[in-house]
Chain A
């Protein structure tokens, strides 16, 4: 499906926000992702959906390699080939009244669409974001604009609570967790609480829609394709 690039803005030294205009009807849940064709590269780039409305998709991505570098150089008006609404997404019906949404670094973006949806369902989400330092912080404004509580943790203490997201978690009152971020962060969160949790995982992908078996991981009772059966797994099925 074709989309038009209508925004590509640098948010921090390495993080950019891209907005695409086009048909968003394929998006069924927050936490899903898109597969974006980057001219000059063979494989598509899987990028989590930060937020969406009826006509636009917002992607917030980190420049980590040549493909995302090329994305950051894309000009407004460019037509992009995008596979949309991939993966299972978070199941908000399984969230309690006060879900805690934890995003580590570039794991934060899908929490925006999730937060918006939970508020629309009458729930009271808190977003907890972890970064290394104050200059890396992004999307705080997006959370606060929705009226949701925003708690920040930085490793060097230059903004918010000093330490890890698990240090900031201790004082928070929540019913359950939705989290996206580096594997060590997800593990630390699981060690810190027994509450229900939906966790978003990352793998190198081939197709992104379940055909190639490139991103299969073992889970309790079998295996799952992160792209099709994930990227959200329940904590109870994860083999750490």
Chain B
């Protein structure tokens, strides 16, 4: 019997598989496909203080080995999430929940963290300072070490659960930002968010996305994610959740060999709603081939 369990900041997960925020809603859409309690955890759709419609459509463009999205943090707002989405999720999901939080000001991040940290079953607060699809916020906090540290310090003041800062790959030096978050008190890091990209419709000679640019996700970004996780875990002591293009059990093990303690699966859920289930079922088989008894034994190469 292989041991798939991992521990993140004292939070034990039965396995390291966490659907990534924005690709799994609040779990409900996946109920027709499998029992979502097989997951290690679940990072819910990025939540802001106020409800947001997001960007105009088209919001999706295809790429080789991936896709662009410019959804723009569509969500019903933190109060609605607490009153409706979380109670519905708790009815069907009995594992630790990762609350994904976005904002346009430090005050907004603080107010969302203050509310969600009190919620039962929310065990990790994932603070997204890296959304590429909103103006005047989101990624702006994730592109300088000072801004990243100030968000981290502010949310740590009110958080009663571990705070993981979700980092952007759209920076010159992700290590300096990771270290700034660690020094400011972050309990862990999540990386990477999507890579900023763009596609053009040749016939119309116009961008495919109404918002012109969007975040690139899918297997195409996996090598970038592995590289960044490897660089960051070489420089910080806090745990890292690795993500970016993970689609198979072998990708999970590779990401853990890069230094990640757990992983998130994003775009793969959208093209194959069974992706997380298949990965969880395949993991023991790949572990057997590699002579791994306990996933948590994997150390950074």
Does B67 count as interface, using CB distance less than 8 angstroms?
A: yes
Does B218 count as interface, using CB distance less than 8 angstroms?
A: yes
Given contacts A204-B58, A207-B270, 13 further A-B contacts (CB under 8 A): A42-B63, A42-B219, A43-B62, A203-B57, A203-B58, A204-B57, A204-B59, A206-B270, A207-B29, A210-B28, A210-B29, A211-B273, A215-B60
CA of A73 to CA of B24, assembled, Å: 33
Does B15 count as interface, using CB distance less than 8 angstroms?
A: no
Does A24 count as interface, using CB distance less than 8 angstroms?
A: no
Chain A residues whose C-beta falls within 8 Å of the C-beta of B58 in the assembled complex: 203-204
CA of A41 to CA of B63, assembled, Å: 8
Known A204-B59, A207-B271, A207-B273; contact A42-B67, beta-carbon cutoff 8 A: yes
Bitwise interface map of A from 99 to 112 toward B, beta carbon under 8 Å scored 1, else 0: 00000000000000
Q: Are B60 and A206 in contact (CB under 8 A)?
A: yes
- B112 → A minimal CB distance (Å): 19
Chain A residues whose C-beta falls within 8 Å of the C-beta of B219 in the assembled complex: 42
Known A42-B66, A206-B69; contact A211-B270, beta-carbon cutoff 8 A: yes
Partner of A216, one of B32, B53, B67: B53
Known A209-B29, A216-B54, A216-B74; contact A43-B273, beta-carbon cutoff 8 A: no
Chain B residues whose C-beta falls within 8 Å of the C-beta of A235 in the assembled complex: none
Bitwise interface map of B from 62 to 98 toward A, beta carbon under 8 Å scored 1, else 0: 1111110101001000000000000000000000000
Q: Which has the most chain A C-beta neighbours within 10 Å: B32, B58, B62, B218?
A: B62
Known A42-B66, A218-B53; contact A211-B269, beta-carbon cutoff 8 A: yes
CA of A177 to CA of B287, assembled, Å: 57
Q: Which has the most chain A C-beta neighbours within 10 Å: B59, B66, B67?
A: B59
Complex interface residues of chain B between 19 and 65 (CB less than 8 A to chain A): 22-25, 28-30, 32, 45, 53-54, 57-65
Q: Are A42 and B64 in contact (CB under 8 A)?
A: yes
Q: Are A217 and B67 in contact (CB under 8 A)?
A: no
Chain B residues whose C-beta falls within 8 Å of the C-beta of A228 in the assembled complex: 29
Q: Who on chain B is nearest to A83 by CB?
A: B273
Q: Are B67 and A211 in contact (CB under 8 A)?
A: no
Bitwise interface map of A from 191 to 233 toward B, beta carbon under 8 Å scored 1, else 0: 0000000000001111101111111111000010000100000
Q: Are B22 and A212 in contact (CB under 8 A)?
A: yes
Mark A residues whose CB is within 8 Å of B.
Answer: 37, 41-44, 67, 83, 203-207, 209-218, 223, 228
Chain A residues whose C-beta falls within 8 Å of the C-beta of B269 in the assembled complex: 207, 211
Q: Who on chain A is nearest to B73 by CB?
A: A213
- A162 → B minimal CB distance (Å): 28
CA of A207 to CA of B22, assembled, Å: 11
Q: Are B62 and A213 in contact (CB under 8 A)?
A: no
Known A41-B62, A42-B271, A43-B67; contact A217-B57, beta-carbon cutoff 8 A: yes
Known A42-B63, A206-B270; contact A223-B53, beta-carbon cutoff 8 A: yes
Q: Are B273 and A44 in contact (CB under 8 A)?
A: no
Please list the 7 inter-chain residue pairs (A to B) with the smallest Cβ-Cβ separation, ordered nearest first: A207-B270, A214-B60, A204-B58, A211-B29, A210-B29, A206-B60, A213-B74
Q: Are A214 and B29 in contact (CB under 8 A)?
A: no
Q: Are B60 and A205 in contact (CB under 8 A)?
A: yes
Partner of A204, one of B24, B32, B60, B218: B60
- B102 → A minimal CB distance (Å): 14
- A180 → B minimal CB distance (Å): 18
Interface CB pairs A-B, < 8 A, 30: A41-B62, A42-B62, A42-B63, A42-B67, A43-B62, A43-B270, A44-B271, A203-B57, A204-B58, A204-B59, A206-B270, A207-B270, A209-B32, A209-B273, A210-B28, A211-B23, A211-B24, A211-B29, A211-B30, A211-B269, A211-B273, A213-B22, A213-B54, A214-B59, A214-B69, A214-B71, A216-B59, A216-B71, A223-B53, A223-B74
Q: Who on chain A is nearest to B53 by CB?
A: A223
Chain B residues whose C-beta falls within 8 Å of the C-beta of A83 in the assembled complex: 273
Q: Who on chain A is nearest to B25 by CB?
A: A211
Complex interface residues of chain B between 151 and 182 (CB less than 8 A to chain A): none
CA of A83 to CA of B274, assembled, Å: 11
CA of A218 to CA of B56, assembled, Å: 9
Partner of B271, one of A43, A216, A217: A43
- B272 → A minimal CB distance (Å): 8
CA of A216 to CA of B269, assembled, Å: 18
Q: Who on chain A is nearest to B203 by CB?
A: A65
Chain B residues whose C-beta falls within 8 Å of the C-beta of A41 in the assembled complex: 62
Q: Are A42 and B218 in contact (CB under 8 A)?
A: yes
Q: Who on chain A is nearest to B210 by CB?
A: A204
Q: Are B25 and A215 in contact (CB under 8 A)?
A: no
CA of A43 to CA of B220, assembled, Å: 13
CA of A14 to CA of B270, assembled, Å: 29
Q: Who on chain B is nearest to A85 by CB?
A: B32
